[in-house]
Amino acid sequence: MKKTLAVILSMLMLVLMAVPAMAAEAEVCPTEDCGAALLYMVVAPNCTEGGYTEWLCPICGYKTITDEVPASGHTYGAYEHVDGDCTHDSYDHAYCVVCGAEDKKNIATAPGHVWSAWEEKAANCTLPDHKVRTCSVCSEVEIENILGGNPWTGHSMKLVSAPETCEDAAVEVYKCSKCDFTSEKPVNAVDHVDADADGVCDVCLNEMPPEEEPHGFYAQIIKWISEIIEAFKAFLAAIKGDSIF
């Protein structure tokens, strides 16, 4: 029994010694008179390229590839339909859930526009004499200038809306008298103007606001000085016999 057990243990030791020897042999450069340890890099497969293990000897440059596996191929999700138009194809497409690559199928080529006959137009605010045609399918409009035609005229802008009072910070609205173009101009609040002293603002045509009474220390001093001046005027008038009483 003891002899049998000894034989088994001996065989097991031989196997354990052989495994690292085999591994070491696989990782050593096979080039004659080299025997350096090989460096390796494992490249994983992806959807379009296979995987492998690449071995390289840092001494003599020996190189080999092992453990090659094929590419996995794309794994597409659900297909969705994309509508086309006159200039864009219609198709069904899906994306790979692994790498995001797109796949298209059932592609229908864009048919192109279906144009109406050219219609000539006179010059306007922004265009010279020109001609226009329209696609009957998608309503796309194509415009071409007429060589030698009249030039564009430019807008004729008129004020159509303004702030109701000078104290409003708002906008003035202008509209072209020849087309529907409008524009806005910011307006800052300003003081009222009453040049003719009729109590109505010459700018916004609203009644002039009442003047505020002066207040504060300096305003009170000015008021006192004004009262003293008026009293002195009355005193002088009384001396001259032109009493105001």
In sequence order, which residues have a C-beta less than 8 Å from that of residue 59 and are 6 or more positions away?
A: 29, 34, 36
Same domain as 164, residue 136: no
152's CB contacts (< 8 A; 6+ apart) are 123, 124, 125, 126, 127, 128
Q: End-to-end alpha-carbon separation of the chain, Å? A: 155
Note the pLDDT of residue 168.
66
48 located within any domain:
yes
Does 74 map to a domain? Answer: no
Do 21 and 36 sit in the same domain of this protein?
yes
Q: List the chain pLDDT tens, one digit each, 245 residues.
A: 444 444 343 444 333 333 333 333 458 999 888 889 999 999 999 999 999 999 999 999 999 999 999 999 999 999 999 999 999 999 999 999 999 999 999 999 999 999 999 999 999 999 999 999 999 999 999 999 998 889 999 999 998 876 666 766 678 889 999 998 999 888 776 677 777 878 787 667 777 777 666 566 777 787 788 888 888 888 787 777 654 44
Q: 127 and 145 in contact (C-beta within 8 Å)?
A: yes
| pLDDT score of 3 | 41
Distance from C-alpha of 56 to C-alpha of 32, rounded to nearest angstrom: 15
Clarify whether residues 167 and 202 are in a common domain: yes
> Domain of 143?
116-153
Question: What local confidence, expressed as pLDDT, does residue 176 receive?
Answer: 93
Please state the domain count of the chain. Answer: 5
What is the model's pLDDT at position 213?
Answer: 61
* pLDDT at residue 2 in the model: 40
Q: Is residue 235 one of the residues assigned to a domain?
A: yes
Residues 8 and 64 in one domain: yes
Predicted local distance difference test score (pLDDT) of residue 55: 95
> Does residue 8 sit in the same domain as residue 61?
yes
Q: Is the full-model pTM beyond 0.85?
A: no
Residue 144 located in a structural domain: yes
Q: Residue 84 falls within a domain, yes or no? A: yes
Same structural domain, 61 and 35: yes
Same domain, 42 and 97: no
- Integer Cα distance of 133 and 121 in angstroms: 11
